[in-house]
């Protein structure tokens, strides 16, 4: 499957939109690699949301093996800190923190 370049189509129930920006950090474990993300999603009605998500693939496999994990992410504090620091550099995320 792999991860398509941005903008990336996304569907949630009957809603359709696009991931228009994101920040990520990767953690590799013994059996699985995880790519944690904070994503800005723009829905077809021009409504924006922010999603915390992650993708997984077998450890050491090709980039084409990434698959969306349709569950809330569970990450160690260092990964969350890295994501938050990257997200603070994005205007769409900074706006939330300053409102």
pLDDT of residue 70: 85
Distance (Å, rounded) from C-alpha 12 to C-alpha 62?
A: 27
Strand 15-28 versus strand 48-58 pairing type:
unpaired
Residue 98 corresponds to which tokens in the numbers above? 């300053």
The CA angle 13-18-19, to the nearest 5 degrees, is: 110
User: pLDDT tens-digit profile of 42-85?
Assistant: 999 999 999 999 999 999 999 999 999 988 899 999 999 999 99
User: pLDDT tens-digit profile of 16-50?
Assistant: 999 999 999 999 999 999 999 999 999 999 999 99
Distance (Å, rounded) from C-alpha 18 to C-alpha 83?
A: 20
């Amino acid at each position: 499957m792999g991860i398509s370049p941005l903008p990336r189509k996304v569907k949630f129930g009957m809603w359709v939109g696009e991931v228009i920006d994101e920040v990520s950090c990767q953690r590799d474990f013994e059996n699985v690699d995880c790519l944690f993300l904070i994503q800005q999603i723009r829905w077809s009605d021009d409504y924006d949301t922010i999603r915390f998500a992650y993708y997984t693939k077998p450890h050491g496999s090709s980039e084409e093996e990434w698959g969306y994990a349709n569950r809330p992410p569970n990450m160690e504090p260092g990964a969350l800190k890295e994501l938050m620091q990257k997200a603070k550099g994005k205007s769409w995320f900074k706006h939330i923190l300053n409102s």
